[in-house]
Amino acid sequence: MGEVTKIRTACRQCHGGCGVIAHVKDGKVIKVEGDPNSPISHGTMCSKGLAVTQLAYHPDRILHPMKKTANGWQRISWDEALDTIKDKFQAVIDQFGPEHIVVGQGTGRDYESHLYRFANQLGTPNVLTAGHMCYVSRVASTLITVGNLPICDYAGGPKCIVMWACNPQWTNPDEYKGTTFWKALRNGAKLICIDPRKGFVANKADLWLQLRPGTDAALGMGFHSVIIEEELYDKDFVEHYIHGWDAFKDRVKDYPLDKVQDITWVDKELVRKAARMYAKTKPACIHWGVPTEQTNNCADCTRILTGLMAATGNLDAPGGNVLFVNPPTRTVAEFSRHKDLSPEQRAKRLGGDQYKLGARVAFITPKVAWESILTGKPYQLKAGLLCGTNPVVTRANAREAYEALKKLEFLAVIDFFMTPTADLADIFLPAATWIEQNHVADNWKRHGFVLARQKCVEIGEAWQDHKIFMELGKRMGQEWWDTVEDALGYLLEPSGLTWEQFKEKGYLQGEMVYYKYKERGFSTKTGKVELYSDTLDKWGFDPIPKYTELPESPVSTPELLDKFPFILNAGLRTPTFFHSANRQMPWLREVRPDPIVEIHPETAKKIGVEAGDWVWIESPRGRVMERTKINDGIHPQVIVAEHGWWFPEIKEVGHGWQISNINLLTDNSHASMDPAIGSTNLRNCLCNVYPVKEGEARIPQWNG
């Protein structure tokens, strides 16, 4: 029996970041534990990361490339798999042009640098990510407003935290870990929670604003309204560093508190109290979450909240919302070779002349991809490569996503498991998990760190995603390095460290400088915070942010209320799952065996259901079923449902993707999207909810 070797690495079972010590014995990771020396997680880990051995060594995991044949999936070699993709892509390029190939990924997974470099060298502008409604949309909107994404400076000791649509104890998203927030709170910070659901944060908060889902932009304008009326803004900052303050002030006049109360359902005196607390307590930070982006108000809401950080003088101030300084490594943008994509190819980006802010950060919104495949307009995508994404479950209007991917002539998918999306592929490539890869991790984030993720083991024939893009790219005549580690050396070059040296060090942190704008202004056209955006104006959008009513809501479509009297808030995360992932891991599934919808006790009584009952949730686009949990911390007219559900234990093709997939209910019509970004409305629509009758449907059952 071998000795246990301990390897220091970095988790990436969610957006990543936690420091890990992996215990390796006889070539196998037998357990992982938190690294107490991690500057980010300080020894903590969550249930998902701790369960990595159940992911990596899962019996259903696919550990070799496969091709689909008339007789089902058949094992093939890497050479055959990559040559097949190369030949197909080359044929599409020769016959139609590279823009007819779509390259896609899901949420941030640390390989966007390689994916974009591959797509750019291929010559396709059609990169499909989750960025249209998650994180990158916040980045795009803040880039044109303040030049970078402002992040809470928890280390700087905020005295007031506004938790605006985020639940970091469960989600640890992007730059944030729940532990960091928790520490700041325990140091005595005041807490304002803006959330339609009473969860952990709302329970701890000094003030909880239970708004109508999706009305954040209006509430933000309510905050501005109080701050302007009571002159609580930072006069010096406003005078010297905001472009368009007067025009913005005029716009805020459209949002008197009575109107804000009508739109948001939040008592106007509570809005006033919260705005005062935020503006008067210094320093204060706004910790924002993804629901602010998943509506037609995406860009405007981001700009309104950024405006709050600016107007109160909390921008780039210690303990406020800061623009962290990256460590001296190459950024994702630098690595990606965006310049390789010629202006002619860029001009062909699907939806690029409509969703111009999205195009600016080089993604397409899924809607235009599905339309292209299904209608051939403006031209037809012919082939695709999807890495680490399950759009059949995770994108709005899942049925359209399914029909489109089914129709696509050729699809290659990179994943760990056969999923409802992988079922539609022609070639399956097996990806390595985070314990099987070397990477300069977290380099896409804006928290000022990069971390060493070290390969602990190799499993089967799986390759890390980075290597897959490199090897496929090389076959297609692209410029790459010989090895993954050589490419990491290039990423690290400005720091003067080799990969081996960096691995020893464990992490790098950029040196923080506050108030950078005082020396060099903001990285915008005017050098100021642009609450009036000439860029948006030039593109034909409203240059000043505002609230636009949700396209399907009690206000905009009252005629639907007879049939669909409730608001569906879709996308409740759980601590154990990551979107559509982890349902096959026993440690995690045991905690949460079924898809859950939360219903207010009064509503449950009205519709005749009790805790544990299966209910139909129906929107104008379809119906699915989930299991009732009673929650009196939500509004009686709102139901809150989990997303991401399919059933890996159902072995037939499709794995029950239609049973509880909430995105069969969400809308992706152009009218429902953010006009500048193309953000889809994944969170809110109208619905009905009623009991599933006995014998009416097949009820999924998890048996371990």
Ligand X SMILES: Nc1nc2c(c(=O)[nH]1)N[C@H]1C(S)=C(S)[C@@H](COP(=O)(O)OP(=O)(O)OC[C@H]3O[C@@H](n4cnc5c(=O)[nH]c(N)nc54)[C@H](O)[C@@H]3O)O[C@H]1N2
The binding site for ligand X (CB under 6 A) comprises: 14-15, 106-107, 109, 130, 134, 164-168, 170-173, 194-197, 199, 211, 213-214, 216, 289-291, 294, 387-391, 394, 414-417, 419, 431, 465, 569-571, 573, 575, 577-581, 643-644, 662-663, 666, 682-683
Q: What is each CA distance from 498 to 257, 327, 441, in whole angstroms?
A: 57, 15, 15
Closest listed residue to residue 73, CA positions, set 413, 376, 533: 413
Contact yes or no for 427/415 (Cβ under 8 A): no
Given the complex with Mo ion, which of 151 and 252 has the nearer CB atom?
151
Residue nearest to ligand SF4 (CB): 49
**Strand pairing of 410-415 and 427-430?**
parallel
Stretch that binds Mo ion, among 102-110, 245-253, 314-322, 370-378 (CB under 5 A): 102-110
* Residue 448 CB, nearest approach to ligand SF4 (Å): 17
Task: Pick the closer one to ligand SF4 by CB: 44 or 663.
Answer: 44
User: Residues with Cβ < 8 Å from 58, sequence gap 6 or more?
Assistant: 416, 417, 584, 585
Q: Closest by alpha carbon to 370, among 412, 403, 419?
A: 403
105-113, 177-185, 489-497, 614-622 -> range binding Mo ion (CB under 5 A): 105-113
Q: Which is nearer to ligand SF4, 46 or 497 (CB)?
A: 46
**Residue 49 interacting partner from ligand X, Mo ion, ligand SF4, none (CB closer than 5 to 8 Å by kind):** ligand SF4
Tokens for 223?
A: 């905050």
Specify the residue, 93 or 456, whose C-beta has the smaller distance to ligand X: 456
User: At closest approach, how far in Å is the CB of 228 from ligand SF4?
Assistant: 39
Q: What are phi and psi of 412, to 5 degrees?
A: -115, 140
Least separation in angstroms between CB 285 and ligand SF4 = 20
Of the pair 234, 598, the CB lying nearest ligand X is at 598
Which 3-state string (H, E, C) describes 133-199? CCCHHHHHHHHCCCCCCCEECHHHCCCEEEEECCCHHHHCCCCCCHHHHHHHHHCCCEEEEECCCCC
Residue 682: contacted member of ligand SF4, Mo ion, ligand X, none (CB under 5 to 8 Å, by partner type): ligand X
Q: Applying CB under 5 A, which of residues 20, 50, 62, 134 lies at the interface with Mo ion?
A: 134
* Three-state DSSP class for residue 594: coil
Residue 151 contact among ligand X, ligand SF4, Mo ion, none, beta carbon within 5 to 8 Å by kind: none
Query: Which does residue 363 bind out of ligand X, ligand SF4, Mo ion, none, counting CB within 5 to 8 angstroms by kind?
Result: none
Q: Which does 167 bind (CB under 5 to 8 A by kind): ligand X, ligand SF4, Mo ion, none?
A: ligand X
Cβ 303 to Mo ion shortest distance, Å: 20
Q: Could you tell me the smallest distance in angstroms from the CB atom of residue 506 to ligand SF4?
A: 15
Binding at 17: pick from ligand X, Mo ion, ligand SF4, none (beta carbon under 5-8 Å per type): ligand SF4
> With contact defined as beta carbons under 8 Å apart, do 372 and 378 qualify?
yes
Residue 30: which residues within 8 A CB-CB, separation 6 or more?
Answer: 4, 23, 24, 53
Smallest gap from residue 643 Cβ to ligand X (A): 4
Is position 107 an interface residue for Mo ion (rule: CB under 5 A)? yes
Pair 684, 383: CB distance under 8 Å: no
Q: Which does 11 bind (CB under 5 to 8 A by kind): Mo ion, ligand SF4, ligand X, none?
A: ligand SF4
d(CA 407, CA 384): 11
Phi-psi region of 56 (alpha: psi -120 to 50; beta: other; left: phi over 0): alpha
Nearest in space to 506 (alpha carbons), one of 544, 431, 468, 452: 452
**Where along the sequence are the contacts to ligand SF4 (CB under 6 A)?**
11, 13-14, 16-18, 41, 45-46, 48-49, 172
The residue assigned the tokens 């059952």 is: 701
Q: Which does 18 bind (CB under 5 to 8 A by kind): ligand SF4, ligand X, Mo ion, none?
A: ligand SF4
Phi-psi region of 535 (alpha: psi -120 to 50; beta: other; left: phi over 0): alpha
Amino acid letter, residue 69: T
State the nearest-atom distance from the C-beta of 15 to ligand SF4, in Å.
7
Q: Which residues bind Mo ion (CB under 5 A)?
A: 107, 134
